[in-house]
A and B are shown apart, each in its own frame.
Chain A
Amino acid sequence: MGNVTSSRKGERFLNLPSKDMMAAIAVTRFGLGARPGEIEAAKADPKGFLAAQIRREGADLPVDGGETSADRFRQMRDFQQQRKMEREQKDGQGDKTTANAQTFKDAQRDLRDKVGADFLARARLATNTDAGFRERWALFWANHFTVSATKQITSVLIGPFEREAIRPHVFDRFENLLVAASTHPAMLTYLDQAQSIGPNSRAAGAAARRSNRRAGLNENLAREILELHTVGVDAGYAQADVTEFARALTGFSIGRDAEDHPGQFLFREAAHEPGSRTVLGRHYGQAGLKQGLSVLSDLAADPRTARHVCGKIARHFVSDAPPPALTERLERRWMETGGDLAKVAQALIESPEAWDPTPAKFKTPYEYTLSTWRLIGAEPSAIERLAPILTGLGQKPFSAPSPKGWAEDAQTWAAPDALIKRMQWAQGFAAAVADRGDPNALAVEALGARLTPAVAKAVSRAETRREAFALLVMSPEFQRR
């Protein structure tokens, strides 16, 4: 913590560190690691350097094929039909199988390549951007509203999800972000909402008449919105709240080809559970789509949501155990502004607790490897090279292990094996890139005022440039932020 001083009136306030230190913190803690010259550029006004990155229109969009989730959804549907046909052909006539199997394989590879291209585009944006804070803010929300490639259909929608639902809304009101994420086809497939049907709805009745199959409720999305995206697991809700919320959400689905909004959000009136609902003690008498949206609106405005999410912001940016004063500041700003995320981001920058020079956060593999690329002013060249690295370090692209998203605490990522793997990667990376430039200068570029004498000495005493580079990126200061 910066020096704590008492004023004559006895109020305690925090002294901010020097401008040089603040510039290093702005670029390494709030951002994605220093590109050459970046810390220098932030020195004149470190807070202003960050504040200028907040903008209403949201985060930057990765430059890629530009396909929408609707495009991808349609392609996936075509692919699935093709697969079905291929299987039928296989059962029937043998001759046509080879040609069809080849088309099928091509389509499969094509879809897989698109997911890879999405991820690479995002990684390139992160290595090239001069608005590291804005990108980190976007990555925080993408992880908060995790969708993961555990399902084939979801995997092709993750890139579009971030472009369509997350990035445009990260400096918007939280309610808008929550609704955009919760109604996006990626979330609706990932958490099984698209097929959820009210047990007493018209659609359920029709399904029962058509066959003996029971069509009904799936409570996955409702539960995770409560537990992870809004009020948090300790908010005191009961199973009945989960089920009621799931009933309110019935009808939140995705349009089929012949319908309105193919491949996009579609409210299926016929699948909606009739009647009014009670969630967290509030009564919802609205009909249809408005019912689910009203619950989302109330959840967004709930003080427990502010507490839960602001705690996460503080943990993400500052410390695994952030000072309570920081969380309270963010929470206060959230409640004062009705969950205006631009204002909350501003509050984070203004909080003196966030400028504590102690680097408390341990970089995740994504943060770590990208900061290393940034340091040498380069970018990952191909997904075939990037994906194995991140997978080997424990963070397989687009594959968070659960809806909770990637863990962000040091205990998770600083495991013995993880450090060995980082060292092995750093050795290889150093061998590929280090034999040009001055390692001592690079150490200053990387850490600025955060460069400690011990690390500077180790780098200067290294036998080779490669060794110096590996030492720098494996130093405690570089691995933390």
Chain B
Amino acid sequence: MNAPLNRRALLGLGASLGIGVTFLGSQAFAAAEGDLARKKLVVVICRGGMDGLSVSPPVGDANYAALRGSIAFKPEDVLKLDDTFGLHPELSAVHALATKGQARIAPAIASPDRARSHFEAQDVLETGASGVYGAETGWLNRTLEALAPVRKVEGLSVGTTAPLILRGKVQAASWSPGKGVDETARLPTLLQDLYKTDPLLGPAFARGLETETMAQQAMTAMAATPAMNMAAASTPSMAGPAPMSATMANDRRNRQGGEAARKLGSTLSGFMIQPAGPQIAAISLDGFDTHAGQSGQIATRLSYLDAVLDGLHTGLGTEWKNTVVIVVTEFGRTARVNGTGGTDHGTASTGLILGGALKPGGIVGDWPGLAQNALFENRDTAPTLDMRALFKGVLAEHMGVDRALLENKVFPDSKTAQPLTGLV
């Protein structure tokens, strides 16, 4: 293993940044499906309830400054998108893509959940159901299921735990950087034998071993990519972090975190640019629950997000043109700043849609505005776009998922959320 691909350096990444990555891979596909088999979809889940009004501050909205008080941005401090919206200053890579028509915002997007509970709302986001406990499987897993008869696809999550968005009938694999498996040891074979009648451990372990093999290929592919070498120029040593807050050595840690986040994006692209590599991926970023002292906290988190997206974009190279990236969160936060320089749980937030496959255009969905009578329950950005509409539109037009399957299998009970078309 050469330096840019230092697995050990990557090992602590997921836990220390709260980042996990999820892949869905397609391996064999019919020649006629060749075009679709190049298409790539990445879903980034920002956990904790990301504040949309910080992601894309509506500095041109007449009510914005008063509602936000101490945490409001001045128009000159944001990266300008249009007369109403800017982007958070830490989102410079996203802004660069936006100026090329390769990034758009959905400033009032929400899941159908209104309980303002992180855990319920994340479940609803990941199951794609119309309400909590509406489904036990993830919509990406059901996408795999729906695509299976057309072209064989595999699920792979990078990170030690399996996210709900990927749980379901199709055994999803998972991978995170580590030591690799010693091919000459007997233990893997003996364990496969010991697990052969175990419905949980048997399939999971087999998939884990397969994925290790695939990871070797991905690492080799990455080694050949100049972008990776650049991204790895100064590798933070994230292995074995002390059980301490990431804010302890804040500045240095933030810089390292940014580099690690960029490398995570590049690593993901290393998998995706393989000829038979994963087509669909999901990444999680934690730490968006900003009840107090929000400004610094969210700046750090958005800089990580920007770095992940930048790493992905750069690493994908020419494959960026076949890619759509969706960034969503379980809910937004209150429009008003609270009493402790933060915001409490709210409703609609900002989604980001990026990619070389994206059609240029303005905001996605309507902007309800921040007038008092326009706020949801007099406190939150009102939702104008059901995120399932976005997911459905992208799955249909970008990934070629059959409409009937989309309605019946992937997002049942979503008639009120008509697929959002024309994005790609």
Residues of A within 8 A of B (CB): 108, 111-112, 115-116, 119, 149-152, 154-155, 191-192, 195-197, 199, 204, 213-220, 223, 227, 233, 239, 242, 362, 383-384, 387-388, 391-394, 396-399, 401-402, 404, 407, 410-421, 423-424, 427, 454-455, 458, 462-463, 467, 470-471, 474-476, 479
> Among the listed A213, A219, A424, A467, which residue makes an inter-chain contact with B186, where contact means beta carbons less than 8 Å apart?
A467
Are B205 and A419 in contact (CB-based, < 8 A)?
A: yes
CB distance from A253 to the nearest CB of B (A): 12
Instruction: Give bound CA distance, A92 to B36, whole Å.
Output: 61
Q: Is the CB of B120 within 8 A of A233?
A: yes
Given contacts A410-B200, A414-B200, A420-B209, 10 further A-B contacts (CB under 8 A): A112-B242, A116-B243, A394-B160, A411-B162, A412-B162, A420-B211, A421-B160, A423-B187, A423-B191, A458-B194
**Given A192-B292, A218-B339, A392-B117 contact (CB < 8 Å):** no
A416-B338 contact in complex given A218-B344, A394-B161, C-beta closer than 8 Å: no
CA distance A419 to B161 in the complex (A): 10
- Can you list 29 residue pairs at the A/B interface with Cβ under 8 Å? A112-B248, A149-B245, A150-B246, A155-B244, A155-B245, A216-B340, A219-B344, A227-B119, A239-B377, A242-B116, A383-B243, A387-B240, A388-B12, A391-B240, A392-B12, A392-B160, A394-B15, A398-B243, A415-B159, A415-B162, A417-B158, A418-B160, A418-B161, A420-B175, A420-B205, A420-B209, A420-B211, A424-B181, A475-B194
B16 within 8 A of A: yes
Q: Among B11, B173, B176, which residue has the most Cβ atoms of chain A within 10 A?
A: B176
The answer to whether A424 touches B204 (Cβ under 8 A) is: no
The answer to whether A151 and B160 touch (CB under 8 A), given A196-B340, A402-B119, A458-B194, is no
Task: Name the 8 nearest CB pairs between A and B, nearest first.
Answer: A216-B339, A394-B160, A416-B208, A388-B240, A397-B243, A417-B174, A415-B162, A420-B208
* Chain A residue at smallest Cβ distance from B198: A476
Q: A471's contact among B14, B119, B187, B198, by CB below 8 Å, is which? A: B187
- Residues on A with beta carbons closer than 8 Å to the beta carbon of B116: 223, 239, 242
B397: Cβ under 8 A from any A Cβ: no
Q: Taking the nearest CB of chain A, how far is it from the CB of B346, in angstroms?
A: 10
A392-B11, A401-B18 are contacts. A414–B240 as well, Cβ < 8 Å? no
A471 touches B194 (CB 8 A): yes
A419-B201 in contact (CB<8A): yes
Contacts of B120 in A (CB 8 A): 233
With a cutoff of 8 Å between Cβ atoms, the chain B residues found around residue A454 in the complex are: 194
How many A-B contacts are there with CB distance less than 8 Å? Answer: 223
Q: How near does chain B come to A186, taking the closest CB pair, in angstroms? A: 13
Q: How far is the CA of A387 from the CA of B16 in the complex (A)?
A: 12
Shortest Cβ distance from B164 into chain A, in angstroms? 8
The answer to the question of B374 belonging to the interface, with a C-beta cut-off of 8 Å to chain A, is no
Interface secondary structure of B, over-half rule: loop
> CB of B151 within 8 A of chain A?
no
Q: Report Cα–Cα, A196/B70, bound state, in Å.
A: 16
- Of the listed stretches B283-291, B312-320, B360-368, B414-422, name the one at the interface; the rest are far from the partner chain: B283-291
- Given the known interface contacts A387-B242, A391-B240, A476-B195, the answer about A407 and B161 at a Cβ–Cβ threshold of 8 Å is yes
Contact B241 A391 (CB under 8 A): yes
A108 and B249 contacting across the interface, CB-CB below 8 Å: yes
Chain B, range 94-124, C-beta contacts under 8 Å to A: 115-120
Q: Is the CB of A467 within 8 A of B190?
A: yes
Binding site for A on B (CB under 8 A): 11-12, 14-16, 18, 47-48, 69-70, 115-120, 157-162, 167, 171-176, 178-179, 181-182, 185-188, 190-191, 193-195, 198, 200-201, 204-205, 207-209, 211-212, 239-249, 286-287, 289, 291-292, 337-340, 342, 344-345, 377, 379
**Cβ B187 vs Cβ A387 within 8 A:** no
Known: A154-B245, A398-B243. A393 touches B160 (CB 8 A): yes
Which residue of chain A has its CB nearest to the CB of B344?
Answer: A219
Kindly report which residue of chain B lies nearest to residue A452, judged by CB atoms: B194
Q: Is the Cβ of A416 less than 8 Å from the Cβ of B175?
A: yes
Contact B194 A416 (CB under 8 A): no
A209 to chain B, nearest CB (A): 16
Q: A116-B243, A416-B211 are in contact. Are A476 and B161 (CB under 8 A)?
A: no
Determine the residue in chain B with the shortest Cβ distance to A223. B345
B188: chain A residues at CB < 8 Å are: 423
**Minimum CB–CB distance for B288 against chain A, Å:** 11
Once the chains bind, are A391 and B12 in contact (CB under 8 Å)?
yes
B195 lies within 8 A of A414 (CB) = no
Chain A residues, CB < 8 A from B11: 391-392
CB distance from A161 to the nearest CB of B (A): 14
CB contact under 8 A between A415 and B174, given known A151-B245, A223-B116: yes
Q: Report how far A119 CA is from B242 CA in the complex, Å.
A: 11
The minimal Cβ–Cβ distance linking A377 to chain B, given in whole angstroms, is: 24
